[in-house]
């Protein structure tokens, strides 16, 4: 193995064989060390939430990764290459520049009996962000999200003062067997926590002022997105074995959908809907 | 400075990385390699200066000269001085450690019991006659009015070097028959015809092998005798007569007469000669009685000397000679496998190379010789000395007999002594008695190469012509005997018996594949060997070299007790 | 709540049986595994006299099994190679399964080898004093390196477990490692290429065994290349077979038909190339190699029971026939053809390994040798069964807790309508 | 040491065995076992699991009945001179060829017991320690001090009594000689053979009996067609015995030699 070991001959065979062996060792070791070093760097830079989202996003089925502009029918098919962070997206920027989002006619969109006030912006993980007058942003579950989780069994909110980031965990909600990580629509520092009854869960002081909210859905985008989400919900329910009247029949999602499907794997349904495969 | 856990990890990591650049870990690996190359638990041979010591092998009458490589006093290998040794002799230095060796026995109790009943009718059965101790027995028996018994033997010696054609009827000529060095030296000069049922080790090297039907050796001998006597001519008989001097050897009773007709009697077949014996011994010695000549039920006390037994006599031939009521049998044995099975007392004896004994002349030894097997290893305590035991019964001291005999030889002043260490031959006349004794006990041989004596007694009283084949439908096989083994063999003989099947192990029988199949036996199976005389548990070897209809039997005492050559036998699955 | 004890470890959205049921399924395999451990323990403590191998049959059941499972485990390297290097994206559906099979096969083979050698504690001498001219050195180096690579490839699958990835360090490491996985796939391909080859070379270089000896290119006998080809050819077939088997046992659909078809096509193409090469090699061996060593090839097949039928079975029945089926789109589209063809291909390679190891040693070389037979002792068989049980246990665990088939969730919906007529074994995992 | 062996011409030790003189007594086998500290067989050992560095095979001409003839052939490591099949296969250099003597050596201390060399050897001259070596109590005192006993799980084989070679070499060096005296170096089997069937010596030295035996017209080597250049030469005047040098032929209706 080494020139000083018994029986070592400096021949072509030895040099080629051991050369290849050491190369393999070096390559494998380098790869591992590289991965470890990168992981260490990520951890120290606090990129865990970012990576968790990227990893989750990567595992979403292709249909779930559709670009928002496909939902609105602007583009025929496109998979989001930026993990739903449209702030980095050139296509989005161009699109916005070409067709500024149409303001919706009413102040509130009603979709299958669910209300989506348009004073706020929606994250594809079923949260909304509403800029407040004091420069903070309130974060809450949208109507579909609320109905999916009904009255939560438990809510785990971050401590005020902690940080949340876009697509990172905002808070956790337990409902039946479901344990859902709700994704944050904004970057910032938590200044106040709410509750189901107060209508919001977090009040966040954004890092950047004004806050960049390009990645959130708004106005006319909400409706097509919601239609798509209901389709997904339908699919998820079917997949998880729901046998009760399906939504496609025109049924309106009840206030507590979970209780309507007692035999369904609610964890799987929520995972699907809250973008957490 | 405060040390965090992190700092400790960093330090440890740095230390490990740094250590890789020192020789320590590499050295450690190499040491681990060396350690694993020498597992513990394996015996370490004792080291020490190696020197050669010489003796004579006492395992059989061949008495080969032996050079022993010894570490200190312990022989670690044996080799022949004149040519190679047989496998038994080569490994004899293992015998003292044989697990089956008899190590303890009630010597005093036996002595008292024998002494008490000696007057009833005592006998000594000497299975290795012709030794100095045999004279001791004869003297003791004369004093005790007992009998000195020897197995039946032709009292002849053969001068192979004088033969031009040798016909061996089943004799293991090249496989332990005589002294290997003599036979191999003579082999170049004679044509060897081996007539035998199985292609034995001798038959393989014979110039011609005549395959006999099993059990027809006697008929074959009769045929030759008939041809020589002018009956139906036979090619073989003419060859023997025409290509003389010819010699026929074997067990058939016709053979002495054949040899006489061939002119070998007196020329090749001569009288065995003995080294000089003190007059006082010959004067007061009991006669040699053949076992067969002893009246039935006449022996009340039988002492058997099995040491270096040249042959084993089946128990069923000894037993009828014993008194009906409570016979006392004492055997001097190295193992429990022989007569110890039938004896009241089995007394342990020294084995070669522990023992001090002289060696009876071999069948091909035509000159008087005297060779002593001197101990290379100290015998353990608690062994019986047969000579002293028997001598003590008669009130005679026997412990110095060998020296007395040597002094007698020296007194005669004839012959020469060959010392193995320097390969020098010195006339006895030039030596003092002590120097002569020293030469004998440090590895030497006395021989008197004088004029040989012609046989005075002509052979062939009346030969029982009857060859009555045993008729037995229930015993389909005919036994053939593998040449004998010493009673005790080295554990290393597994190389030949078990790890290669080169030799048939003493407790085995070999069958032709067809016979094995008929008896539903496979190689290595346990089986029962049955004859008219009884049964014996054996292991089976399936060997196409065994002729169909025959069973080649090993030489263990158990098998010999029930199965003599030529008898009908059966092997059944155990 | 024993029933749902391990719920939080199970991938979201897949259906797995209850914990007691899973334990019930594992019980016999764990029993077998313990029996195997006992058998192997006997061989390690008392020595190899516990086996029925001997000086003439120096290799036995274990080597045959090792060679076979390493060939079958070749799916791991070959799928990785196709997916990460040649970018056959569809194979993402089975790559995890392939890696688990690889880990199982290679670690099982290594374990069996450790029992097989007389002094396992000295195994590292091969690294310390390597004889670079020995095929076995190449095998040892490559297999141990490749096992390390496989374990590293297996790591992301483990770390991706739902519960484990909640630990940030695991999550991040898995993410970063997965990004570099193509490097490992490349290294794995390189190593596999050489050890599959040198396993073939192992026997091909035996000049003293004209039945196995082959001429070759440079330092490698032709079996070197034949083994690589055959391993690459049956790796995908074995993946088809295992995936199908798991589907049958669990009553779930795990991979899209497209994946099966692709694997079948790859296997078919490689298998036909292999059959061609093997035929040419056999002809050269019969007509040139063997006679030049003084052995007429026909004599090998005169020792019963190893007649020429074995050659026919190896090349035609278990080579050409499955190759043709796998190459015919109409036939391979139907499970009734696809699965037997894949099984035949696997049998073919097993037979080839059997012939190379067992028949080689059975045939006499000296004219007074006997034709030998050998039956493995129960300790040998037990050890092999233990390795099989170990494989089943590891695979079952992996299947239950890790995402072995990423398409499973998607395919769940398609199997739904038949839910009522699920096979009895449904939900086993 | 290396410079020294370059000065003197390398020896090529070999044997010449006269099959016609071997009566199969087995002395060579036990002498070998004594010399090389080979343990006696364990209870379960057979002729396929034993340790017999030199093994005498009984062969026959394949005929049945009266035509059947046998011979004994001692088979030991043939010390292949060219492309020894066992040397290149050992993964950890436990097998080597001494260029000074041409002896194929085996280092059991280095061996991990993979048995690849055994599969490689066409002469089946390699043996594996299937059992822990065991001697009856006390018998370990008779072990040869010049040879280390081997442990279970390693391969061993004939090395032309390396212990004896070493002793001879030491003696030669002590006497200020570069070459060992042929009389000092005789393997145990050669010494033990009662019929003198085995001759051992330097094949490069044309004067030795061994080299002369190798040149006899009825001399042959086992499986010479494999091209391994074995250094054990056999002689026999019998045609059927000489045929054992060639490949085996199955017994399907053909006359053949078998063991």
Instruction: Give residue D39's pLDDT band: very low, low, confident or very high (50, 70, 90).
Output: very high
- What's the rounded Cα separation, in Å, for the pair A191 and A160? 5
Domain presence at residue D40: yes
What per-residue confidence (pLDDT) applies to B469? 61
In this structure, what DSSP letter does residue D72 have?
E
Query: Domain holding A63: CATH number?
Result: 2.40.50.100
Find which of B510-514, B562-566, C87-91 is predicted with most confidence, using mean pLDDT.
Answer: B510-514
pLDDT tens digit sequence for A32-68: 999 999 999 999 988 888 898 988 888 888 878 888 8
Residues B344, B301 contacting (CB under 8 angstroms):
no
Query: Domain holding D201: CATH number?
Result: 3.30.70.20
Domain presence at residue D114: yes
What per-residue confidence (pLDDT) applies to A81? 87
D49 Cβ under 8 Å from any chain C Cβ: yes
- Chain C residues within 8 A of B30 when measuring between CB atoms: 128
User: Is the predicted pLDDT of residue B345 greater than 50, yes or no?
Assistant: yes
Query: What is residue C333's three-state secondary structure?
Result: coil
User: Is the predicted pLDDT of residue B464 greater than 80, yes or no?
Assistant: no
Query: Among residues B291, D9, D89, D206, which one has the least CA distance to residue C140?
Result: D89
A11 Cβ under 8 Å from any chain D Cβ: no
D88 Cβ under 8 Å from any chain C Cβ: yes
Rg (chain A; Cα; Å) = 24
Instruction: Give residue C423's pLDDT band: very low, low, confident or very high (50, 70, 90).
Output: very low
pLDDT, mean of residues B7-32: 84
Q: To the nearest whole angstrom, how far is the Cα of D176 from the nearest Cα of chain B? A: 21
Which helix (DSSP H) or strand (DSSP E) does residue D120 occupy? helix D116-120
Residues D11, D102 contacting (CB under 8 angstroms):
yes
- B contact chains, 3+ CB pairs < 8 A: A, C, D
Domain presence at residue B221: yes
User: Is the predicted pLDDT of residue B467 greater than 70, yes or no?
Assistant: no
- A contact chains, 3+ CB pairs < 8 A: B, C, D
A6 Cβ under 8 Å from any chain D Cβ: yes
- Chain D residues within 8 A of A13 when measuring between CB atoms: none
What per-residue confidence (pLDDT) applies to B442? 92
- Chain A residues within 8 A of C413 when measuring between CB atoms: 235, 238-239
Question: Looking at chain A, which residue has its C-alpha nearest residue B31?
Answer: A5
Domain presence at residue A137: yes
Give the pair of three-digit tokens for residue C50. Answer: 């516990």
- Chain A residues within 8 A of D96 when measuring between CB atoms: 7
Beta strand A200-206 with A137-141 is antiparallel
Q: Residue C370 burial (CB < 10 Å; 0-12/13-18/19+)?
A: middle
pLDDT tens digit sequence for A64-109: 888 888 888 888 888 888 888 888 888 888 888 887 777 766 767 7
Query: What is residue C39's three-state secondary structure?
Result: helix
User: Is the predicted pLDDT of residue B132 greater than 80, yes or no?
Assistant: yes
Instruction: Give residue B310's pLDDT band: very low, low, confident or very high (50, 70, 90).
Output: low
pLDDT tens digit sequence for C254-292: 999 999 999 999 999 999 999 999 999 999 999 999 999
Domain that holds residue B62: 54-97
User: Is the predicted pLDDT of residue D118 greater than 60, yes or no?
Assistant: yes
- What's the rounded Cα separation, in Å, for the pair C192 and C147? 10
What per-residue confidence (pLDDT) applies to A93? 84
What per-residue confidence (pLDDT) applies to C25? 94
Domain presence at residue B78: yes
pLDDT tens digit sequence for B234-281: 889 999 988 879 999 998 888 888 998 998 888 888 888 889 999 999
What per-residue confidence (pLDDT) applies to B462? 57
Spell D29-58 as b/e; 16+ CB within 10 A means b: bbbbbbbbbbbbbbeebbbbbbbbbbbbbb
Domain presence at residue B368: no
Domain presence at residue D258: no
Averaged pLDDT score across all residues of chain D: 89
* Interface residue ranges in chain D relative to chain A, Cβ cutoff 8 Å: 93, 96
Query: Domain holding B519: CATH number?
Result: 2.40.40.20
Give the pair of three-digit tokens for residue B503. Answer: 């030799």
What per-residue confidence (pLDDT) applies to C4? 67
User: Is the predicted pLDDT of residue A206 greater than 90, yes or no?
Assistant: no
Instruction: Give residue C425's pLDDT band: very low, low, confident or very high (50, 70, 90).
Output: very low
In the 3-class helix/strand/coil scheme, how is chain A assigned residue by residue? CCCCCCCCCCCHHHHHHHHHHHHHHHHHHHHHHHHHHHHHHHHHCCCHHHHHHHHHHHHCCHHHHECHHHHCCCCCCCECCCCCCHHHCHHHHHHHHHCCCCCCCCCEEEECCEEEECCCEEECCCEEEEECCCCCEEEEECHHHHHHHCCCCEEECCCCCCEECCCCEEEEEEECCEEEEEECCCCEEEEEEEECCCCEEEEEEECCCCCCCCCCECHHHHHHHHHHHHHHHHHHHHHCCCCCCCHHHCCCCCCCHHHHCCCCCHHHHHHHHCCCC
Domain presence at residue A82: yes
Asked if C125's CB is within 8 angstroms of D92's CB, the reply is yes
- Chain B residues within 8 A of A4 when measuring between CB atoms: 26
Composition of chain B by helix, strand, coil, percent to 5: 30, 25, 45
What contacts B293, CB < 8 A, 6 or more positions away? none
Q: Are residues B282 and B389 in the same domain?
A: yes
Give the pair of three-digit tokens for residue B451. Answer: 């004029």
- Of residues B31 and B492, the one with the higher pLDDT is B492
What per-residue confidence (pLDDT) applies to B32? 74
- Which of C122, C205, C371 minimises the CB distance to D112? C122
Long-range contacts of A50-53 (CB under 8 A, 24+ apart): A50/A165, A50/A167, A50/A168, A51/C171, A51/C172, A51/C175, A52/A168, A52/A169, A52/C165, A52/C171, A53/A83, A53/A167, A53/A168, A53/A183
Instruction: Give residue C424's pLDDT band: very low, low, confident or very high (50, 70, 90).
Output: very low
Query: Domain holding C170: CATH number?
Result: 1.20.1630.10
Domain presence at residue C426: no
Question: Looking at chain B, which residue has its C-alpha nearest residue D153?
Answer: B39
What per-residue confidence (pLDDT) applies to B460? 58
Domain presence at residue C168: yes
Question: Looking at chain A, which residue has its C-alpha nearest residue D95?
Answer: A7
Domain presence at residue B222: yes
- Chain A residues within 8 A of C410 when measuring between CB atoms: 61
When divided into structural domains, chain A yields a total of 1
Query: Domain holding B145: CATH number?
Result: 3.40.50
Domain presence at residue D257: no
Q: Are residues B19 and B107 in the same domain?
A: no
Instruction: Give residue C7's pLDDT band: very low, low, confident or very high (50, 70, 90).
Output: confident
What per-residue confidence (pLDDT) applies to B85? 92
What sign for the dihedral angle of Cα B267, B272, B273, B279?
A: negative
Query: What is residue B551's three-state secondary structure?
Result: strand
Q: Which residue has the tokens 């003796």?
A: B55
- Chain A residues within 8 A of B26 when measuring between CB atoms: 2, 4
What per-residue confidence (pLDDT) applies to A97? 82
pLDDT tens digit sequence for A159-197: 888 888 888 888 888 887 788 888 988 888 898 888 888
Domain presence at residue D254: no
User: Is the predicted pLDDT of residue C32 greater than 90, yes or no?
Assistant: yes
What sign for the dihedral angle of Cα D50, D53, D54, D60?
A: positive
Sheet holding B424-427, edge to edge: B357-358, B369-373, B444-447, B416-419, B424-427
Domain presence at residue D118: yes
Residues C332, C265 contacting (CB under 8 angstroms):
yes
User: Is the predicted pLDDT of residue C126 greater than 50, yes or no?
Assistant: yes
Q: Are residues B150 and B280 in the same domain?
A: yes
What per-residue confidence (pLDDT) applies to C422? 37
Alpha helices in C13-134 (DSSP H): 19-46, 61-72, 75-80, 92-116, 125-128
Query: What is residue D219's three-state secondary structure?
Result: strand
What per-residue confidence (pLDDT) applies to B154? 59
Q: Which range is least confidently modeled, A242-256, B313-327, D28-42, D92-106?
A: A242-256
User: Is the predicted pLDDT of residue C421 greater than 50, yes or no?
Assistant: no
Asked if D30's CB is within 8 angstroms of B495's CB, the reply is yes
Q: Are residues B205 and B339 in the same domain?
A: no
Domain that holds residue A116: 48-273
Q: How many CB pairs under 8 A join A and C?
A: 108
Instruction: Give residue B77's pLDDT band: very low, low, confident or very high (50, 70, 90).
Output: very high
Query: What is residue D251's three-state secondary structure?
Result: coil
Which pTM value belongs to this model?
A: 0.90
Domain presence at residue D81: yes
pLDDT, mean of residues B331-346: 91
When divided into structural domains, chain B yields a total of 5
Give the pair of three-digit tokens for residue C32. Answer: 């077998």
Q: Residue B457 burial (CB < 10 Å; 0-12/13-18/19+)?
A: exposed
Tell me how far the alpha carbon of residue B11 is from its chain's centroid. 76
Which helix (DSSP H) or strand (DSSP E) does residue B288 occupy? strand B288-290
In this structure, what DSSP letter does residue C53 have?
-
User: Is the predicted pLDDT of residue B170 greater than 60, yes or no?
Assistant: yes
Q: Are residues B179 and B264 in the same domain?
A: yes
Composition of chain D by helix, strand, coil, percent to 5: 30, 15, 55
Q: Which range is least confidently modeled, B290-304, B457-471, C117-131, D151-165?
A: B457-471
Domain presence at residue D199: yes
End-to-end CA separation in angstroms for chain A: 48
Q: To the nearest whole angstrom, how far is the Cα of A60 from the nearest Cα of chain C? A: 10
B7 Cβ under 8 Å from any chain D Cβ: no
When divided into structural domains, chain D yields a total of 1
What per-residue confidence (pLDDT) applies to C264? 95
Give the pair of three-digit tokens for residue A266. Answer: 């609610």
Domain presence at residue C428: no
What per-residue confidence (pLDDT) applies to C418? 41
Residues D53, D38 contacting (CB under 8 angstroms):
yes
Domain presence at residue B490: yes
When divided into structural domains, chain C yields a total of 1
Instruction: Give residue B37's pLDDT band: very low, low, confident or very high (50, 70, 90).
Output: low
Domain presence at residue B519: yes
- What's the rounded Cα separation, in Å, for the pair B209 and D11? 41
- What's the rounded Cα separation, in Å, for the pair B446 and B426? 9
Q: To the nearest whole angstrom, how far is the Cα of B287 from the nearest Cα of chain D? A: 38
User: Is the predicted pLDDT of residue C73 greater than 80, yes or no?
Assistant: yes
Q: Which residue has the tokens 């029925």?
A: C52
Interface with A, mutate which of C175, C408, C418, C422 (most A CBs under 10 A): C175
pLDDT, mean of residues C202-220: 90
Domain that holds residue D240: 2-245
Q: To the nearest whole angstrom, how far is the Cα of C249 from the nearest Cα of chain A? A: 20
Q: Are residues B202 and B332 in the same domain?
A: no
Residues C260, C236 contacting (CB under 8 angstroms):
no
Residues D27, B87 contacting (CB under 8 angstroms):
yes
- Which of B43, B80, B502 minimises the CB distance to D143? B43
Domain presence at residue C327: yes
Query: How far from B260 is each of B223, B228, B455, B462, C258, CA to CA, in Å?
Result: 15, 10, 11, 14, 101
Q: Residue B287 burial (CB < 10 Å; 0-12/13-18/19+)?
A: exposed
Query: What is residue D56's three-state secondary structure?
Result: strand
Residues C323, C272 contacting (CB under 8 angstroms):
yes
Beta bridge partners of B538: B527
pLDDT, mean of residues C164-192: 91
pLDDT tens digit sequence for B86-103: 999 999 999 999 999 998
Q: Are residues B105 and B123 in the same domain?
A: yes
B33 Cβ under 8 Å from any chain C Cβ: yes
Domain that holds residue C111: 8-421
Asked if D154's CB is within 8 angstroms of C134's CB, the reply is no
Instruction: Give residue B36's pLDDT band: very low, low, confident or very high (50, 70, 90).
Output: low
- What's the rounded Cα separation, in Å, for the pair B224 and B233? 8
End-to-end CA separation in angstroms for chain B: 85
């Amino acid at each position: 193995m080494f020139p000083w070991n018994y029986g070592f001959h400096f021949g072509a065979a030895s040099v080629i064989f051991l050369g290849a062996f050491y190369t393999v060792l070096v390559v494998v070791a380098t790869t591992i060390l590289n991965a470890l070093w990168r992981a260490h760097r990520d951890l120290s830079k606090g990129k865990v939430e970012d990576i968790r989202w990227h990893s989750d996003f990567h595992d979403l089925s292709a249909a779930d990764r559709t670009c928002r502009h496909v939902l609105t029918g602007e583009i025929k098919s496109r998979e989001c290459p930026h993990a739903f962070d449209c702030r980095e997206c050139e296509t989005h920027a161009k699109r916005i520049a070409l067709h500024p989002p149409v303001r919706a006619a009413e102040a509130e969109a009603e979709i299958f009996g669910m209300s989506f006030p348009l004073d706020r912006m929606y994250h594809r993980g079923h949260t909304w962000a509403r800029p407040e007058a004091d420069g903070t942003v309130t974060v809450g579950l949208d109507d579909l999200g609320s109905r999916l989780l009904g009255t939560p069994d438990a809510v785990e909110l971050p401590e005020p003062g902690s940080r949340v980031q876009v697509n990172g965990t905002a808070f956790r909600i337990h409902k039946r067997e479901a344990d859902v990580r709700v994704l944050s629509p904004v970057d910032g520092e938590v200044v106040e926590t709410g509750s189901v009854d107060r209508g919001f869960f977090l009040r966040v002081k954004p890092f950047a002022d004004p806050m960049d909210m390009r990645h959130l859905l708004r106005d006319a985008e909400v409706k097509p997105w919601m239609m798509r989400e209901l389709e997904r919900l339908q699919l998820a329910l079917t997949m998880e074995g729901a046998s009760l009247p399906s939504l496609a029949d025109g049924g309106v999602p009840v206030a507590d959908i979970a209780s309507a499907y007692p035999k369904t794997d609610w964890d799987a349904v929520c995972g699907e809907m809250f973008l957490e495969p | 400075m405060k040390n965090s856990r992190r700092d400790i990890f960093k330090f440890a990591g740095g230390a490990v990385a740094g250590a890789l650049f020192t020789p320590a870990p590499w050295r450690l690996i190499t040491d681990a390699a060396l350690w694993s190359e020498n597992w513990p638990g394996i015996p370490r041979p004792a080291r020490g200066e190696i020197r050669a010591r010489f003796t004579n092998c006492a395992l059989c009458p061949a008495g080969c000269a032996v050079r022993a490589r010894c570490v200190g006093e312990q022989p670690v290998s044996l080799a022949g001085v004149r040519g190679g040794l047989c496998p038994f002799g080569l490994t004899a230095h293992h015998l003292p450690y044989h697990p089956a060796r008899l190590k303890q026995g009630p010597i005093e109790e036996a002595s008292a019991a024998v002494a008490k009943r000696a007057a009833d009718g005592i006998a000594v059965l000497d299975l290795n006659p012709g030794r100095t101790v045999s004279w001791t027995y004869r003297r003791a028996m004369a004093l005790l009015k007992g009998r000195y018994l020897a197995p039946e033997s032709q009292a002849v010696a053969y001068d192979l070097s004088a033969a031009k054609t040798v016909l061996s009827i089943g004799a293991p000529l090249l496989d332990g028959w005589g002294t290997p060095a003599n036979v191999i030296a003579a082999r170049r000069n004679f044509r060897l015809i081996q007539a035998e049922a199985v292609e034995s080790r001798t038959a393989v090297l014979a110039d011609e092998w005549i395959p006999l039907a099993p059990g027809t050796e006697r008929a074959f001998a009769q045929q030759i005798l008939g041809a020589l006597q002018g009956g139906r001519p036979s090619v073989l008989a003419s060859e023997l007569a025409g290509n003389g001097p010819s010699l026929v050897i074997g067990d058939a009773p016709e053979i002495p007469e054949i040899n006489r007709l061939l002119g070998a009697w007196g020329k090749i077949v001569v009288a065995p000669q003995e080294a000089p014996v003190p007059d006082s011994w010959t004067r007061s010695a009991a006669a040699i009685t053949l076992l067969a000549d002893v009246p039935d039920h006449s022996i009340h006390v039988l002492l058997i000397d099995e040491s270096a037994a040249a042959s084993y006599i089946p128990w069923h031939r000894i037993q009828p000679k014993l008194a009906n009521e409570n016979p006392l049998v004492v055997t001097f044995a190295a193992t429990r496998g022989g007569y110890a099975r039938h004896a009241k007392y089995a007394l342990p004896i020294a084995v070669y190379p522990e023992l001090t004994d002289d060696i009876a002349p071999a069948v091909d030894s035509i000159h008087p010789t005297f060779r002593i097997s001197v101990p290379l290893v100290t015998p353990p305590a608690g062994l019986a000395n047969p000579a002293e035991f028997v001598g003590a019964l008669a009130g005679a001291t026997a412990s110095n007999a060998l020296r007395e005999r040597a002094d007698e030889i020296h007194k005669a002043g004839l012959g020469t002594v060959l010392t193995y260490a320097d390969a020098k031959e010195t006339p006895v006349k030039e030596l003092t008695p002590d120097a002569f004794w020293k030469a004998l006990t440090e590895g030497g041989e006395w021989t008197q190469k004088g004029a040989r004596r012609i046989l005075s007694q002509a052979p062939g009283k009346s030969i029982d012509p009857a060859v009555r084949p045993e008729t037995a439908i229930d015993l389909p096989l005919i036994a053939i005997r593998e040449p004998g083994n010493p009673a005790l063999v080295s554990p290393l003989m597994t190389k030949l018996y078990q790890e290669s099947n080169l030799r048939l192990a003493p407790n085995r029988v070999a069958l032709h594949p067809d016979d094995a199949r008929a008896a539903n036996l496979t190689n290595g199976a346990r089986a029962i060997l049955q004859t008219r005389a009884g049964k014996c548990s054996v292991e089976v070897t399936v060997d196409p070299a065994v002729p169909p209809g025959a069973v080649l039997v090993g030489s263990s005492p158990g098998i010999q007790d029930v199965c003599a050559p030529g008898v009908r036998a059966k092997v059944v699955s155990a | 709540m024993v029933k749902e004890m391990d719920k939080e470890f199970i991938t979201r959205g897949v259906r797995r049986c209850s914990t007691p049921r899973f334990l019930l399924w594992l019980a016999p395999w764990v029993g077998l595994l313990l029996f195997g451990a006992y058998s192997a323990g006997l061989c390690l403590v008392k020595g190899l006299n516990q086996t029925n191998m001997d000086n003439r049959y120096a290799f036995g059941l274990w080597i045959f099994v090792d060679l076979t499972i390493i060939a079958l485990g070749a799916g791991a390297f070959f799928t990785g190679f196709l997916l990460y290097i040649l970018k056959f994206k569809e194979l993402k559906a089975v790559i995890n399964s392939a890696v688990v099979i690889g880990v199982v096969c290679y670690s099982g083979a290594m374990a069996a080898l450790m029992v097989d050698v007389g002094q396992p504690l000295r195994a590292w001498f091969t690294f310390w004093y390597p004889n670079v001219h020995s095929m076995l050195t190449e095998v040892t180096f490559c297999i141990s390196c490749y096992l390390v690579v496989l374990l590293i490839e297996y790591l992301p699958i483990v770390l991706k477990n739902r519960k484990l990835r909640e630990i940030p360090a695991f999550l991040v490491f898995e993410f970063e490692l997965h990004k570099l996985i193509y490097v490992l796939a490349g290294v794995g391909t390189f190593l596999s290429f050489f050890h599959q080859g040198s396993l073939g070379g192992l026997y091909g270089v035996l000049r003293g065994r004209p039945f196995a000896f082959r001429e070759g290119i440079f330092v490698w006998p032709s079996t070197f290349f034949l083994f690589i080809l055959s391993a690459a050819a049956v790796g995908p077939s074995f993946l088809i077979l295992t995936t199908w088997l798991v589907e049958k046992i669990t009553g779930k659909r795990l991979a899209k038909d497209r994946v099966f078809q692709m694997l079948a096509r790859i296997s078919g193409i490689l298998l036909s190339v292999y059959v061609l090469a093997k035929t040419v090699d056999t002809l050269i061996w019969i007509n040139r190699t063997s006679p030049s060593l003084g052995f007429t090839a026909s004599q090998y097949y005169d020792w019963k029971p190893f007649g020429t039928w074995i050659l026919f079975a190896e090349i035609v029945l278990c080579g050409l026939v499955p190759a043709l089926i796998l190459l015919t789109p109409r036939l391979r589209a139907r499970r009734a053809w696809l699965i037997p063809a894949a099984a035949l291909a696997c049998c073919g390679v097993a037979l080839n390994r059997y012939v190379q190891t067992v028949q080689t040693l059975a045939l006499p070389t000296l004219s007074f040798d006997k034709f030998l037979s050998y039956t493995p002792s129960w300790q040998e068989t037990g050890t092999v069964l233990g390795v099989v049980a170990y494989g089943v246990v590891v695979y079952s665990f992996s299947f239950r807790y890790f995402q072995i088939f990423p398409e499973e969730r998607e395919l769940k919906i398609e199997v739904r309508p038949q839910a009522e007529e699920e096979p009895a074994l449904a939900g086993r995992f | 040491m290396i410079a020294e062996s370059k000065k003197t011409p390398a020896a090529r030790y070999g044997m010449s065995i006269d099959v016609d003189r071997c009566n199969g007594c087995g002395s060579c086998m036990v002498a070998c076992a004594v010399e090389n500290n080979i343990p006696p067989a364990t209870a379960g050992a057979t002729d396929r699991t034993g340790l017999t560095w030199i093994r005498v095979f009984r062969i026959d001409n394949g005929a049945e009945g009266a035509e059947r003839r046998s011979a004994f052939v001692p088979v030991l490591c043939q010390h292949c001179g060219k492309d020894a099949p066992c040397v290149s296969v050992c993964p950890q250099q436990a097998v080597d060829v001494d260029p000074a003597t041409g002896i194929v050596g085996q280092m059991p201390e280095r061996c991990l017991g993979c048995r690849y060399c055994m599969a490689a050897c066409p002469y089946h001259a390699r043996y594996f320690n299937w059992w822990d070596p065991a001697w009856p109590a006390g018998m370990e005192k008779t072990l040869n001090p010049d040879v280390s006993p081997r442990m279970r799980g390693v391969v061993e084989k004939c090395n032309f009594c390396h212990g004896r070679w070493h002793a001879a070499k030491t003696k030669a060096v002590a006497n200020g000689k570069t070459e060992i005296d042929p009389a000092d170096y005789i393997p145990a089997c050669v010494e033990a053979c009662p019929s003198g069937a085995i001759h051992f010596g330097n094949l490069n030295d044309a004067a030795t009996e061994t080299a002369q035996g190798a040149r006899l017209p009825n001399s042959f080597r086992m499986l010479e067609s494999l091209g391994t250049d074995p250094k054990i030469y056999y002689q026999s005047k019998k045609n059927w015995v000489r045929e054992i040098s060639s490949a085996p032929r199955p017994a399907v209706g053909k006359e053949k030699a078998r063991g």
